[in-house]
Structure 1
Amino acid sequence: MGRGGGRFGGRGGPERKPTLPLKESLKQLAHLLWPFIRPRLGAIILGTLCLLVGLALGKVVPLISAWLVDNVLTPAVKGGSDAPEIGVVYRQVGVAAAAMLGCALLSALVSGVHNWVVRSASASFVRDLRMAVYRHLQRLSLHFFESRPSGDVVSRVAGDVGGLEEVITFVGDRLFNDALNLLVTTGILFWLEWRLALVALIPVPLLLLMMRWFSTTIRPVYRATRDRYGEVHAKLQDNISGIRVIKAFHADEQEVSAVGGMVNRLFETQVRAIRLSSVAWPLMGFLHGFGHLLVISVGAFLIVRPGSTFTVGALFAFTAFVMQLYHPIGALFHTYNHLLQCLASGERVNEIMNAVPEVADASDAYELPDAVGQVAFDGVNFRYTPEVPVLKGVSFVAQPGEVVALVGRSGAGKTTIINLIARFYDPEAGRITVDGHDLQSITQASLRSQIAVVPQDAFLFNGSVSENIRYARPEASEEEVRAAARAAYAAEFIEALPDGYESLIGERGVKLSGGQRQRLAIARALLADRKILILDEATSMVDSHAEAEIQQALAGLMRGRTSFVIAHRLSTVVHADQILVVDEGTIVERGTHAELIERSGLYNSLCREQIRSA
């Protein structure tokens, strides 16, 4: 049965989403990040104090230079009766130099403290945010992951969350510093010479207009770039996971071409951003130079004007402060650029954090007591998409310890029934109970802690054999692990591996054969020792000899447990206590093998088809 598309995924990669209005995007970013910024306010305040000290020290040096030029160097150069003695000049120059050196050393010290404090805070900020996003992902329902490219989700957790580090290191930290620097410098300029200060501010409106143009133009480009990154990441992950199929069908060049197209689209969006930056930054540099030229020209006129009190030292200090005026404007522009990039990343992270689990525990949900194992469906309807019903009025009761086989053609709804038992989805109508407890009244964790699953495509993690077997029971002893492996007829091949139970099996168990992976999955379920067991074609990947051995092991495992078995090979379900024949979402037959084979129904037909095929 088909599944619905996701909010930001589909076959072609991440779905293009419209860029939010700037105010709304900032509001969402603040709401997302504030819980992670608040615990680090102390570090941010300390870093800000360091910036303030550095800012003050930066203002002192030009004033010392102005005093040195007007009160020491200029009188010494002019000579005359008022000229200071050369020894006095040397001492005063030495004092000024020592003061400026002291300012430089202190500035370096506070800069180092600031860098250590802010960088440490930003690193821990990213760590906690990434873990919060991952925890939220774990709470989301199965449908969320089935309807989105996994590579795009990984790109958001890894790349976009990492990009938000600049909220502290650049945006929050530098924004305050540069804004304060701008205000203080402007005040000093007006204090030195208000007319020249007005001249220095002439380029500022043009710079502000350019910033507004840049922000409205570049934001959609930054969002498109982040989406393209996610698209490429998703495709690469898909191809690496499916490398065997690519090699088998000699589709190397086909996939290189497909990835190349995505990489080129990413490149095109990056070039658009570069093109815009290449216009904005040189234009800003030109406006800075133009402002300097105006200040020097008007300043020189003020100095030579008869009766002027504006001195060369004052102009010297004024030009230094003009540098400090234009630098924070440029830095604010740079910070604003980083903020826009953060907004693009923040929007993508927010889409994950705003995703609501389709299956969630009720506010008054309680823990499922130790299960006896009765499972009942009562008039259950379900659909993945509104257009296509998958289950229609399904009802049955599995008594404790019974083996219930689900039989039917592909797409009949067998796997959906299994998914509902584990509460990966909720039915749209009807009721499912375990020992009389409605699944929607108990916690998901307490339900799944009493279910063991052996899927058709056994998924193994990139770790050791031992780690994979004890996945559901990390505290299990080595002897329990070995016992489970023996019961699953896996001990022989495990002990033949180079490092035995500590052998690394690669991503998804790539170093093992299909049958070996399936045996490890069975050993994992054996060690879990749960009351409800789900076997989805559990012997499909093993040969007939191994199947007979594993069937014996499973028979022992299923004894005393309620077991649901999905099987296409009907020979594996002949001893089931109850066989449910599913067709187009309804149970059309039920009974034992002996009962059903006597009828001329679907089960009888499926058995005959398999006999003819054999």
Structure 2
Amino acid sequence: MARNKYDVDEVLEDRFDVNQLKRLAGYIRPYRKQMAAVIFMMLTASALAMLIPRFLMTVMDECIPQKDMKTIGLYSLFTFLIALYVSVSLRFKIKITNEIGQNIIHKLRYDIFAHLQELPFSYYDTRPHGKIQVRVVNYVNSLSDLLSNGIINTITDLCNLVFILFFMLWINVRLTLICLCGLPVLVLVVVLIKKKQRVAWQIQSNKQSNLNAYLAESINGIRVTQSFTRESRNTDIFNQLSRGYRESWMRAVKFNFLMGPSVDIISTVTTAFIYVLGIQWMLGGDGGITVGVLVAFTAYISRFWNPINTLANFYNSLLTAISYLERIFETIDEEVQVKDVEGAMEMPLIEGKIQFRDVVFGYEDGQIILDHIDFTANQGESFAIVGPTGAGKTTIVNLISRFYNVGSGAVYIDDVDISKVTIRSLRSQMGIMMQDSFIFSGSIMDNIRYGNMEASDEDVIRAARTVCAHDFIMKMDSGYQTQVNERGSRLSAGQRQLISFARALLADPKILILDEATSSIDTETEIVLQRGLKELLKGRTSFIIAHRLSTIQNADCIMYVDRGKILERGTHEELLALKGEYSNLYLSQFDFLKK
């Protein structure tokens, strides 16, 4: 999925890759035995049902003239038993096909979601989240009918056509040939609209994706929208996107609706010809056509065009599904840039020594964010990283957690190259608090325990006390069991940060990364928090990014980063004595506070 935003359509593929259907077949393959059983029952039911018009012809041409009530009763019994078997087969088919279809949908949705969990931050940084969500939910759901009924119906209907043609040829060859004259016309219709129909559904999926992207963006930014009174403007944008979706939908279904009427028109015309010619031949005594033959044959005609109509609908569903399959598999095929290398080992128990050795990194080719970074943080030391916005501070700590791969050079923890260890074993031994204090829907207890699912309630409370979150939590409606909304809308920014702080500390990590951890906390709470953290950070290697320099004065080492390089490093006193960039930054903040 290329970089874009809500008002930019995604790129359309010029040609359909048949391998997409082969991949879909791989999801169907585990259920081939159940599908074979359903197909067998449906085929036997269809084959038996084909006998009913033949029974009717025999009754009309032979039994009624001869007043043979015993044979009529026997045929009636056979017809009843066939109808009963068809009903049981249909019920069995509906139950099994729905189970198979939903199992396949579940597996598809699981695969795409599991893959999304592994994709790097850069994937989410460059595309609207709504366009990602629509693939997991809407696009996968759109395949439901195709997988539940379409495939089995297609197989059974193709076989039904063979059965029907056999009985039609058995009754009368000439009438059968007249019926088949309509097929070339139908094939011509299919050929003419096939490409336009597929492109129309691709455009429709793009417009749906755009609409969903803007909807997600608007909901997430509703506070900003209302603060700047942008409601009317945003509604106009939404209306424009919705109108584009509606127009693309109407154009796509227009092509779909060409198929059904085409089949109906062709079947009606051929049936009319058969009636006209059949009656003429019957009245003229030509061709051995009787009333029973004509009645039976017209019954077969309706059965002949019904499966063709079903096949046409399946063709429509397939073209629609193809446009969604392309997007689904495109997401699943998105390269996982940060993944375990072949033969990756488990990270040994971390002690806490961290080294950057000549690290160069950029988010895009040709871009340099970190330029030959070298430093060593020994076990238990606290490192603070300061500098202007965009200098590369957060990038450094992201590389320690291996959220990105370095361009060149290497990052070592306890003399182990972290690119050679499994990501899970590395991150599970770290405590990380990002700038975005994300709160999940659920209880406060569950949000803190997110950092260590095996932690007891007492452990959670102890972590909350350490970061000074316990008091405000206990003042809430249900204490630690208070339910909070997605993104923690019921909490203040400072409260969200304290909960995120407790979450990171609960993991009991050897390496602790705090990215602007106290930016939304008031000064009084910060003073208390610093006292609690002082004991907690003993024996742990910590990296602290902070714009408020009062929070990092006691760090063992402060690095001033700018333009991708470490320009200065040392303790707070050493850097002040240097009278360089750090000193200027500190004095400017000090002067501002005095004012």
Trace 1:110-121 onto structure 2 (pairs within 5 A).
110-121=89-100
* CA distance in structure 2 between the aligned counterparts of 1:280 and 1:114, rounded to whole angstroms: 26
Partner SS state of residue 569, structure 2: strand
| C-alpha contact (below 8 Å) 1:166/1:342 kept by paired residues | no
* CA distance in structure 1 between the aligned counterparts of 2:286 and 2:566, rounded to whole angstroms: 105
Indicate how the Cα distance of structure 1 residues 510 and 455 shifts in structure 2: closer, same or farther if over 3 A, else same: same
1:126 aligned to which of 105, 117, 128: 105
Aligned to 1:348: 327
Partner SS state of residue 363, structure 1: coil
Aligned to 1:365: 344
1:599: how far off? Answer: 1.4
* CA distance in structure 2 between the aligned counterparts of 1:468 and 1:365, rounded to whole angstroms: 31
* CA distance in structure 2 between the aligned counterparts of 1:533 and 1:555, rounded to whole angstroms: 13
* Cα shift readout 1:484-532 (whole Å, capped 9, x = no counterpart): 1111111111112111111111011111111111111111112111111
2:40 aligned to which of 43, 49, 52: 49
1:63 aligned to which of 38, 54, 65: 54
Aligned to 1:450: 429
* CA distance in structure 2 between the aligned counterparts of 1:307 and 1:448, rounded to whole angstroms: 87
Answering whether residue 19 of structure 2 is matched by residue 27 of structure 1, we say yes
| C-alpha contact (below 8 Å) 1:453/1:525 kept by paired residues | yes
Answering whether residue 312 of structure 2 is matched by residue 333 of structure 1, we say yes
* CA distance in structure 2 between the aligned counterparts of 1:435 and 1:290, rounded to whole angstroms: 82
Answering whether residue 452 of structure 2 is matched by residue 468 of structure 1, we say no
Answering whether residue 8 of structure 2 is matched by residue 17 of structure 1, we say no
1:362: how far off? Answer: 0.9
Aligned to 2:31: 40
| C-alpha contact (below 8 Å) 2:260/2:313 kept by paired residues | no
1:173: how far off? Answer: 0.9
* Cα shift readout 1:206-247 (whole Å, capped 9, x = no counterpart): 011111222211101111111221211111111111111111
Partner SS state of residue 55, structure 2: helix
* CA distance in structure 2 between the aligned counterparts of 1:545 and 1:256, rounded to whole angstroms: 42
Answering whether residue 485 of structure 2 is matched by residue 506 of structure 1, we say yes
1:307: how far off? Answer: 5.5
* CA distance in structure 2 between the aligned counterparts of 1:180 and 1:330, rounded to whole angstroms: 14
Q: Which moved more, 1:441-450 or 1:96-105?
A: 96-105
Answering whether residue 241 of structure 2 is matched by residue 262 of structure 1, we say yes
1:100: how far off? Answer: 2.0
Indicate how the Cα distance of structure 1 residues 551 and 289 shifts in structure 2: closer, same or farther if over 3 A, else same: same
1:20: how far off? Answer: 4.4
Aligned residues: 593
| C-alpha contact (below 8 Å) 1:14/1:230 kept by paired residues | no
* Cα shift readout 1:551-599 (whole Å, capped 9, x = no counterpart): 1222222111110000001111110100110011100000000000011
1:8: how far off? Answer: 3.2
1:104: how far off? Answer: 1.6
* CA distance in structure 2 between the aligned counterparts of 1:380 and 1:587, rounded to whole angstroms: 12
- Matched AA of 1:456: Q
| C-alpha contact (below 8 Å) 2:435/2:515 kept by paired residues | yes
Identity %: 33
Partner SS state of residue 484, structure 2: coil
- Matched AA of 2:350: A
* CA distance in structure 1 between the aligned counterparts of 2:167 and 2:592, rounded to whole angstroms: 93
* CA distance in structure 2 between the aligned counterparts of 1:288 and 1:306, rounded to whole angstroms: 26
1:104 aligned to which of 71, 83, 90: 83
Answering whether residue 424 of structure 2 is matched by residue 427 of structure 1, we say no
1:54: how far off? Answer: 2.3
| C-alpha contact (below 8 Å) 1:379/1:430 kept by paired residues | yes
| C-alpha contact (below 8 Å) 2:356/2:412 kept by paired residues | yes
| C-alpha contact (below 8 Å) 1:170/1:335 kept by paired residues | no
- Matched AA of 2:11: K
Trace 1:268-287 onto structure 2 (pairs within 5 A).
268-287=247-266
Aligned to 1:4: none
| C-alpha contact (below 8 Å) 1:489/1:549 kept by paired residues | yes
- Matched AA of 1:63: R
Normalising by structure 1, report the TM-score.
0.94
Answering whether residue 155 of structure 2 is matched by residue 176 of structure 1, we say yes
Trace 1:542-553 onto structure 2 (pairs within 5 A).
542-553=521-532
Say what the alpha-carbon RMSD is for the aligned residues: 1.5
| C-alpha contact (below 8 Å) 2:379/2:539 kept by paired residues | yes
Answering whether residue 467 of structure 2 is matched by residue 488 of structure 1, we say yes
Aligned to 1:243: 222
* CA distance in structure 2 between the aligned counterparts of 1:9 and 1:282, rounded to whole angstroms: 41
Unaligned runs of 5+ in 2: none
| C-alpha contact (below 8 Å) 2:383/2:557 kept by paired residues | yes
* CA distance in structure 2 between the aligned counterparts of 1:396 and 1:131, rounded to whole angstroms: 41
1:521 aligned to which of 500, 504, 509: 500
* CA distance in structure 1 between the aligned counterparts of 2:26 and 2:165, rounded to whole angstroms: 35
- Matched AA of 1:52: L
1:132: how far off? Answer: 1.5
1:483: how far off? Answer: 0.9
1:294: how far off? Answer: 1.2
* CA distance in structure 1 between the aligned counterparts of 2:324 and 2:330, rounded to whole angstroms: 10
* Cα shift readout 1:134-174 (whole Å, capped 9, x = no counterpart): 11111222211222211111110111122222342233211
Partner SS state of residue 86, structure 2: helix
* CA distance in structure 2 between the aligned counterparts of 1:20 and 1:121, rounded to whole angstroms: 32
Aligned to 1:612: 591
1:269: how far off? Answer: 0.4
* CA distance in structure 1 between the aligned counterparts of 2:253 and 2:29, rounded to whole angstroms: 35
2:2 aligned to which of 3, 8, 15: 8
* CA distance in structure 1 between the aligned counterparts of 2:107 and 2:367, rounded to whole angstroms: 41
* CA distance in structure 2 between the aligned counterparts of 1:418 and 1:178, rounded to whole angstroms: 60
1:386: how far off? Answer: 2.2
Q: Which moved more, 1:92-101 or 1:595-604?
A: 92-101
Normalising by structure 2, report the TM-score.
0.97
* CA distance in structure 2 between the aligned counterparts of 1:582 and 1:307, rounded to whole angstroms: 100
Partner SS state of residue 388, structure 1: coil
1:481: how far off? Answer: 1.0
Aligned to 2:361: 382
- Matched AA of 1:18: L
* CA distance in structure 1 between the aligned counterparts of 2:299 and 2:526, rounded to whole angstroms: 84
* CA distance in structure 2 between the aligned counterparts of 1:39 and 1:556, rounded to whole angstroms: 56
| C-alpha contact (below 8 Å) 2:558/2:572 kept by paired residues | yes
| C-alpha contact (below 8 Å) 1:8/1:14 kept by paired residues | no
* CA distance in structure 2 between the aligned counterparts of 1:390 and 1:592, rounded to whole angstroms: 25
Partner SS state of residue 368, structure 2: strand
1:13: how far off? Answer: 5.0
| C-alpha contact (below 8 Å) 1:171/1:336 kept by paired residues | no
Aligned to 1:413: 392
- Matched AA of 2:330: E
1:141 aligned to which of 109, 120, 137: 120
Indicate how the Cα distance of structure 1 residues 307 and 228 shifts in structure 2: closer, same or farther if over 3 A, else same: closer
* CA distance in structure 1 between the aligned counterparts of 2:104 and 2:41, rounded to whole angstroms: 20
* Cα shift readout 1:526-549 (whole Å, capped 9, x = no counterpart): 211111101011111111101111
Partner SS state of residue 31, structure 2: helix
Answering whether residue 291 of structure 2 is matched by residue 312 of structure 1, we say yes
Partner SS state of residue 395, structure 1: strand
* CA distance in structure 1 between the aligned counterparts of 2:481 and 2:452, rounded to whole angstroms: 17
- Matched AA of 1:333: A
| C-alpha contact (below 8 Å) 2:47/2:163 kept by paired residues | no
